[in-house]
């Protein structure tokens, strides 16, 4: 069965400090991984996906199959990064794909 684990429920850093939000997964197949973000009073939205190998708003995430991890990193956190972050895994089942989320990490960036 597929599972996504985000060990930190809360993470607090100061502006300008590096930030890393941890995500580990378990899945027997080839994983498709994503990070979603939910800013205050906004809907959940895609931040980045591993297949694109992109950097969005200064965030990057590298898939490490050996460690089954997909940690989200940013070298210099900004106050506007404060939000709820969810790691997600897409898995194939019955010919279609479903999206399973971790429990989320609430990031607070203090001034």
Contacts with another protein by CB under 8 A lie at 6, 32, 43-46, 49, 51, 86, 90, 93-104
Beta carbon of residue 81, minimum distance to another protein (angstroms, whole number): 19
Q: Which is nearer to another protein, 5 or 82 (CB)?
A: 5
Helical segments of the chain, H only:
none
Cβ-based neighbour number of residue 77 at 10 Å:
22
- Closer CB to another protein, 6 or 109, in the complex: 6
Nearer to another protein, 62 or 97 (CB): 97
Residue-level length of the chain: 111
User: In sequence order, what E strands does 3-95 have?
Assistant: 3-5, 10-14, 19-21, 24-26, 32-38, 45-49, 60-61, 72-74, 83-93
Structure tokens that stand for 62 in this block: 């590298």
Smallest separation, CB 63 to another protein (Å): 12
CB of 104 vs another protein, minimal distance in Å = 5
């Amino acid at each position: 069965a597929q599972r996504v684990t985000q060990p930190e429920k809360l993470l607090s850093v100061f502006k300008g400090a590096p930030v890393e939000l941890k995500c580990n997964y378990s899945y027997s197949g080839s994983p498709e991984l994503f990070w979603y973000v939910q800013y205050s009073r906004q809907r959940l939205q895609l931040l980045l996906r591993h297949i694109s190998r992109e950097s969005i708003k200064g965030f990057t995430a590298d898939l490490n199959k050996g460690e089954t991890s997909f940690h989200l990193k940013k070298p210099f956190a900004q106050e506007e990064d404060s939000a709820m972050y969810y790691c997600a895994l897409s898995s194939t089942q019955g010919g279609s794909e479903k999206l399973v989320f971790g429990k989320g990490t609430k990031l607070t960036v203090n001034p």
